[in-house]
Chains A and B, each alone.
Chain A
Amino acid sequence: MIPAEFDYVKAGSVDEAVAALVAGGEDSKVLGGGQSLLPVLRLRLNSPSVLVDVSGIDELRQVTDEGSSILVGAGVTTHEVMHHALVTAHVPLLSQAAGLVADPAIRHLGTFGGSCTHADPSGDMPSVAAALDAEFVVAGPGGRRTVAASDFFVDFFTTAVGLDEVLVAVRLPKMDGWGSHYEKFHRTAQAWAIVGVAAAVKVEGGAITGAKVALTNMGPTPVRATSVEAALVGGPATVEAIAGASGSAADGTSPTTDTHADAEFRQHLARVLTARAVTKAAGL
């Protein structure tokens, strides 16, 4: 199908993008790689009056070493995230999970930042950001602000980014010394996650001393499996202990039922996939 008509603005800077969004009013929308937006426009699920293209903004295309963290520009593509030396070295969870997003052609245009702001509950990138306590740098008419991942994902397809704001970059702590794994259960190769689990653990002297676990598609936003994290930390890094701790992965979740899986099966998957993800993250 053909999208409804819209005006197109190519922004040369973040300030230009914000100005265009302000001028465009509430029906304006940011265009990054367009790999989530274009299908929406084609199906006419949304028909914004103005698209502000941010793909040409240099600042959004950078990956920067900040010492204890790396800053990934919102316009860095999923494919670039998979292969960028700073990401593979310091946040391998992100590069590994990025390789499971959609398919190569989509990854060449789709962006990590765009996937986060799209905030599809079945998207893989938001869970990685949530697991790693990422920070989101957002620019608006009043300047820039930083939003914690726990405040960023608000609801189905809804984030803290305002209608006149642009996501500039995502700050991820370096995970040196941690093991990590993203486990995705999906129906076909390029399909969305029915359930996914992002896990990072720190193992010292045979014991787990740090654990971060976030679940994909177990609620309207990424869910941190805090009870699993608490049960893991201080325990031994063994398959049995991890299996035991993973038993509470679905506690307190209210996943949706759809044609691919009902809520009960999703909760089963959350427990099983958490055990797999943490086990692999621990190198077992």
Chain B
Amino acid sequence: MTHISVTVDGLHRHGDVEPRLLLVHWLREDLGLVGTPVGCDTSNCGACTVLVDGRSVKSCSVLAVQVDGKTVTTIQGLAEEDGEWHPVQKAFKECHGLQCGFCTPGMVMASVDLLSENPDPTEEEIRNGLEGNLCRCTGYHNIVKAVATAAAEMKGASS
């Protein structure tokens, strides 16, 4: 067993883990953070996307020991402390950027990462930025719309 110490959604979490434990399993099974789903389990679909030190990663493709000492943000840590949703979460709701919702946690986290690097993306840049996240319901149109809406909202808020 290896001891790890990680800041997860603003809280200091630590524990002894088997080196082979995947990050997504640590989040879901040890910490109870089941907002991050396991999708394909093959690095393809991106449903399990979380942020590690602010950058998107697929948590089914990372060992828990690899994030020792780092900061992890899941979909459950995105809202403000008072419960106010992140602009990307709001935009997904407003633009109907989801149907079954299974890909949504990963889509939202990948979108947050995309907007942190490129606050004013073109439609093409949004589509390229989300190439690692698969949605089988929406056809992506409303997801792209949601990200553009969130970008405008966040830009307005910061100016």
A45 interfacial contact with B, CB 8 Å: no
The residues of A that contact B57 with a CB separation of less than 8 Å are 105, 108-109
CB distance from B107 to the nearest CB of A (A): 12
* Complex contacts, A55 vs chain B, CB 8 Å: 66
- Interchain CB contact under 8 A, B132 and A39: no
Residue pair A39, B20 in contact (C-beta under 8 Å): no
- Residue of B18, B25, B60, B131 most packed against chain A (CB within 10 A): B131
Within 8 Å CB of A2, what residues of B? 20, 22, 25
Segment 22-39 of A: residues with Cβ below 8 Å from B: 31, 34-35, 38-39
Q: Scoring B residues 44 to 60 as 1 if CB is less than 8 Å from chain A, else 0, what string do you get?
A: 10100100100111101
Contact B131 A190 (CB under 8 A): yes
Judge whether A240 is part of the interface by a CB distance below 8 angstroms: no
Taken together as a complex, chains A and B put the C-alpha atoms of A159 and B15 apart, in Å, by 37
Nearest neighbor of A5 in chain B, beta-carbon distance:
B20
Tell whether, in the assembled complex, residue B132 and residue A104 are in contact, meaning their CB atoms are under 8 Å apart: yes
User: A106 within 8 Å of B by Cβ?
Assistant: yes
The answer to whether A104 and B113 have CB atoms under 8 Å apart is yes
Q: Specify which chain A residues have a CB less than 8 angstroms from the CB of B129 in the assembled complex.
A: 104
Judge if A284 is at the interface, Cβ distance under 8 Å.
no
Residues 36-68 of A, flagged 1 when their CB comes within 8 A of B and 0 if not, give 001101110000000101010000000000000
Interchain CB contact under 8 A, A38 and B61: yes
Instruction: Specify the chain B residue showing the minimal Cβ separation from A77.
Output: B55
Instruction: Check A106–B19 contact: CB distance below 8 A.
Output: no
Query: How long is the Cα–Cα vector from A39 to B62 in the complex, in angstroms?
Result: 10
Say yes or no for B78: interface residue by CB 8 A criterion: no
Rounded to whole Å, the gap between the CB of A118 and the closest CB of chain B is 14
| 23 pairs, CB–CB < 8 Å, chain A vs chain B | A2-B20, A2-B22, A3-B22, A7-B19, A10-B65, A34-B62, A38-B62, A42-B42, A42-B60, A43-B42, A53-B65, A79-B55, A103-B46, A103-B133, A104-B110, A104-B132, A105-B49, A105-B56, A106-B43, A106-B58, A109-B61, A109-B62, A190-B131
